[in-house]
Structure 1
Amino acid sequence: MEKVQALHLLKTALAEISDPRGIAKVDDFSGLREVDAKVREVRMILESVDGLPNSLLESMFNDLDFQANSRRVRLEALAGYVKSALKFVDTGAFQKPKKQIHSPPDLSKLTSSVPGLKDEIDKRWKEAQKCVHVAAYTSAIILMGSILEGLLLARAQLSVSTAYQSPHAPKGKDGKPIALQNWTLNTLIEVSADVGWIKTDRGKFSHALRDSRNVVHPWQAVMSRANFDESTCKTSWSVLDASVGDLLESLQSVS
């Protein structure tokens, strides 16, 4: 929520619960239920104001004054929190959290089998975060899936014989192994989990990212009713980040 809008909503709420002298407008509320409704409304406003300290909301949530059998006590307590929020917003302490772009870990050893792959992964790693910051969530998910696929394939190319020995390694109609570069993301995840390049539970969550990544096909997005948001991206990023950690750790046994 922008600063101007936050100030307007908070000042309006304060005017509804107390007069200019700071006296609670008890007579404007017929009972405790109406007061509680106003408390919930104000809490929703405060939760939508970026940059307010968490301690303010936590203190409000645990404040015993809001359990008092008195409209006046509850309204005075509410006014106190609104005033605190107004001071915090109006003094310049209010500011949007900076949207930072975090660099990827050193992937040079993992990507060494494919010239130029490290630069491409590094670029997509940063672009995915930029997409999240501008609410381009579908694009962010697709990029995350592509990063995972690229790194799993790179890991397989560093241990080709191990990859082909997995029972999940695919074969063509002629019974011959399918070339690594033609493996699907599903196969790469299954093989990587089977041979221990990523943890088994990580493989399960990676499949969820794979399913989400498939919305790169518009028809798949429609059929799956995909509706990604920031929380989806945070979960997917955690899966990707943990999987990358597994892959890097697995390289310790590679000479």
Structure 2
Amino acid sequence: MENIYLTKTEIIDLVVEYNSNDTKQMLYFIENDCNIKFDIIKVKSGIALDNFNISIYCYKLFYNNKKSNKDFTNRYSDDKYCVYNYKAKDVLIELFKLLYDEDIENIKNITLKMKERKHIKENNSINVSSKNIVKNMSDINNYNNLDDHIENRPEMINIITELEKSKENIGYIVKEDPEFLKVIKYRLEEIEKSIKYKMPLTAIILSGSTLEGILLYIANKFEVNFKQSQSSPKNKSNSTKEFDDWTLNNFIDVAHDIGFLKIDVKKLSHNLREFRNYVHPYKELENNYHPSIEVSKIFIQILILAINEIIEKLNEQN
């Protein structure tokens, strides 16, 4: 990890991104986690402007007996922490001008290690959730006995919280299409309502269609990868079908084949696809099964797991 070469610009972007563009958090991270003890000092105040005395307080970053070139100003009070009001990247650029090369290298290495730990922690969380769902879904085909296996499971309790997180995170997937992002967020809100008002069939159908919409969006974004996959559906002339002719089954298989869905979530997504067919009344009549609200929570969890894995894959590519 420590042998990774990055330019100063890349290190700045890395640190800013890791701290979510939060200047206060970033400076705390550099001072405490990276042990870079800089200061913010006042350099002047009370500037006259057009015969009026206006109190303007100016501060600079101070480190290694050097001051930053840029002034950080506050018009209203003597408060050095006005620097928090400036963009994180602008502040870090000024600070990097004062640091030794070994300081910058240290910041880089610590940031990379912290990102790796966070990544491992998130993966472990996803894997635990996936294993829990697989355990609950082990006899998914035995519809009539399913309720006995999942009722009051603790991993289902926080489903609303997980949906809220998905609404916040879905923007990482749907970046280039704000209108489509609104539609997906609205559907996630509708899924949440269906749980609150105990409408399991609505929750399942919406979860399946939302997954299909997200996978179609990813397919359009990575069209070459999807269409060159060995799992992509072919027509009679052995050419890859256009996306309009793909089924949810096709999108799931190809998404797994090119690394957007892992094997467990692929299998679970197919179970969601099968239950999504309950949108047809005769399918429900044929199976003589009426899903409970607890069963619907399983399928919502599958959608959430799929969203998390797609985000994970996109982060790897960035």
- The equivalent residue for 1:102 is 164
CA RMSD, Structure 1 to Structure 2 (Å): 2.3
Of the three residues 258, 262, 286, the one matched with 1:195 is: 258
When residues 181 and 105 of structure 1 are mapped into structure 2, their CA distance, relative to the original with a 3 A threshold, is farther
Deviating beyond 6 angstroms after TM superposition, the runs of 4 or more aligned structure 1 residues are none
Q: Is residue 175 of structure 1 aligned with residue 204 of structure 2?
A: no
**In proportion to residue count, which structure has more strand?**
2
Matched with 2:299 is 236
Question: Structure 1 residue aligned with 2:275, among 196, 205, 212?
Answer: 212
Paired letter, 2:268: F
Match of 1:21 in 2: none
Aligned residue type for 1:194 = D
**Alignment partners' CA distance in 2, 1:200 and 1:184:** 19
Answer yes or no: is the 8 Å Cα contact 2:207–2:303 preserved in 1: yes
What does residue 61 of structure 1 align with? Answer: none
Which segment is superposed worse, 126-135 or 102-111?
102-111
In the TM superposition, residue 114 of structure 1 has moved relative to its aligned partner by: 4.6
Residues 214, 220 of structure 1: 8 Å contact kept: yes
Q: Secondary structure at the match of 1:228?
A: coil
> Which residue of 204, 209, 213 maps to 1:146?
209
- Residue type of the alignment partner of 2:192: Q
Give 1:73-152 correspondences, 5 Å limit. 102=164, 104-112=167-175, 114=177, 116-152=179-215
The residue type equivalent to 2:164 in the other structure is H
CA contact (8 A) 1:113 1:158 kept: no
Partner of residue 163 from structure 1, selected from 226, 242, 249? 226
For structure 1, the 5+ residue unaligned runs are 1-98
In 2, Cα distance between equivalents of 1:213 and 1:230: 15
Q: What do the CA deviations read for 1:125-160 (whole angstroms, capped 9, x no partner)?
A: 010111122121111110011111111111122211
Q: Give the number of aligned pairs.
A: 159
The 2-side partners of 1:237 and 1:172 are apart by 33
Q: Is the contact between residue 187 and residue 206 of structure 2 (CA under 8 Å) also seen in structure 1?
A: yes
Partner of 2:133: none
State, as a whole percentage, how many aligned pairs show the same letter: 29
After TM superposition, the structure 1 stretch with the greater mean CA deviation from structure 2, 110-119 or 227-236, is 110-119
Preserved CA contact (<8 Å) 1:194 1:200: no
The alignment's TM-score, normalised by the length of structure 2, stands at 0.47
SS at 1:102 equivalent: helix
Q: Report the residue type matching 2:288 in the other structure.
A: R
Q: Structure 2 regions of 5+ residues with no counterpart? A: 1-159
Q: 1:172 to 1:114 in 2, by over 3 A?
A: farther
Q: Look up the equivalent residue of 1:166 and give its one-letter code.
A: S
| Equivalent AA in structure 2 for residue 246 of structure 1 | E
Name the amino acid aligned to 2:253: E
Give the 3-state SS of the residue equivalent to 1:108 in structure 2.
helix
Over residues 147-191 of structure 1, what are the superposed CA-to-partner deviations in whole Å (9 max), with x where a residue is unaligned? 111111111222111111211101112322111233110011111
